[in-house]
Structure 1
């Protein structure tokens, strides 16, 4: 595997770059310094809120590109490169549909902050890991923001309990099982692949010069844009099938293992 032409490294966060405790390793931060010296761009691509990604990568925030909210917003430092949100009519229709699904917790993911109902302390504790800036709203229809996507949480399985109720929306929206407990509803062009393609175009970087790491279905589109696409050992079967290569799990420094090989080149 000749990695000498790689000019851009793109990695998902949860289940990929972050360990099971949602931590970034000191080893990666050391590797990032070396990536910069070699003029290799680094992109953090996550379903997380932009503010949450920046919190996790705070020490390097001024030197990275960020694809947040599963591609609904992309930034280079504070400069917005791309935004693909939802219109109010669609949001209201989706909130009505979600209200018919049992035991789920919707999140309106806004440009300024995220919005949840104050009806579950247990969910709020889970939610805080992924959203650094948020507000409690008794009625989610009362939001005052640009909404980038709607995330839905189920404590057992988003794929089992949420996806069957919303899969009929796939002809008009992007419906993504983005984690064991999360499903995202967004604009049809709001996905990591669409955002990554924009960055590749801006920086004139080809698939042969791109390395991507992922673990769940919301990573599939961006994995398809890289010759060096890696599925984590803990990845969803769909991701393992789609990727060209595999690496160790997120708790075994799977990303860092491959970056070591890249930096040796």
Structure 2
């Protein structure tokens, strides 16, 4: 059951906020729209129907695989825009808007680096499938939360199909154990700490902000008509596009610093609170 709430406006920096011009809502998934149990609230789906009636477009933007995102939002999947794989893939109502692949030579370079790092689990992320090795049953179980479609290979170096991202998992901490090994690639690639356990590597143009710019152009959306929610570093570029950028209370310090506004945590209906204000402003 959705809990009744009151918001202290001054605390959350809303004094001058006017949401009446918003035409598009964009939200990250994990740590933002999804609670800590990786679930979408029933309240959100109810609010979505009100957004739809007011002709406000909704975009789910995630490091997750496209299929995983639409599985979480199955009830509304035909009415939403999806930015998946941290901007490597974008689809509007099922129509492909953008695919930004990672060159095969780059894939091999990254895999070679990771072969020298202990306790990391790389995932090759294609447009429709993900690919892993069979070295960890525990990791494969963890993967299923984020990747609905995946295949197990003997060797990732032998895969020569198109990928849009390499996602790398560490059970303890991605910022401490993965990022120091790959940050030197940032001059040529996107290297993003995308969660407490994940680092994502993709093409320089494959980020949520770049993909969102394409979506905005497709739908004639201006910055003052855009409302964006995020919690981690892979959200920074898309938050920077919106006049109404919201950091979750549980966000990474860089996100809290960049965002123009703050809201409650993903476990305290941070997104839903603002959507309700948006709907009431219309």
Do the structures match in fold with TM over 0.5? Answer: yes
Return the match for 2:255 from 225, 239, 244. Answer: 239
Distance 1:78 1:145 in 2: 22
- Over the aligned positions, Cα root-mean-square deviation in angstroms equals 0.7
Q: Tell me what 2:158 maps to.
A: 142
**Stretches of structure 1 lacking an aligned partner (at least 5 in a row):** none
Instruction: Say if 2:189 and 2:201, in contact at 8 Å, map to a contact too.
Output: yes
Q: How do 1:80-91 and structure 2 match up within 5 A?
A: 80-91=96-107
Instruction: Say if 1:111 and 1:145, in contact at 8 Å, map to a contact too.
Output: no
Greater shift in the superposed pair: 137-146 or 182-191:
137-146
Distance 2:22 2:78 in 1: 21
Distance 2:72 2:95 in 1: 19
Instruction: Say if 1:9 and 1:211, in contact at 8 Å, map to a contact too.
Output: yes
Per-residue deviation, 1:122: 1.0
TM-score by length of 2: 0.93
Q: Tell me what 1:228 maps to.
A: 244
Q: Tell me what 2:71 maps to.
A: 55
Q: Tell me what 1:194 maps to.
A: 210
Instruction: Say if 1:112 and 1:145, in contact at 8 Å, map to a contact too.
Output: no
> How many residues end up aligned between the 2 structures?
265
Distance 2:215 2:94 in 1: 15
Distance 1:87 1:172 in 2: 12
2:54 counterpart of 1:24:
no
2:146 counterpart of 1:130:
yes
TM-score by length of 1: 0.99
Q: Tell me what 2:167 maps to.
A: 151
Per-residue deviation, 1:90: 1.1
SS at match of 1:108: strand
Greater shift in the superposed pair: 197-206 or 222-231:
197-206
Per-residue deviation, 1:141: 2.1
SS at match of 2:191: strand
Greater shift in the superposed pair: 78-87 or 168-177:
78-87
Distance 2:94 2:275 in 1: 26
Q: Tell me what 2:126 maps to.
A: 110
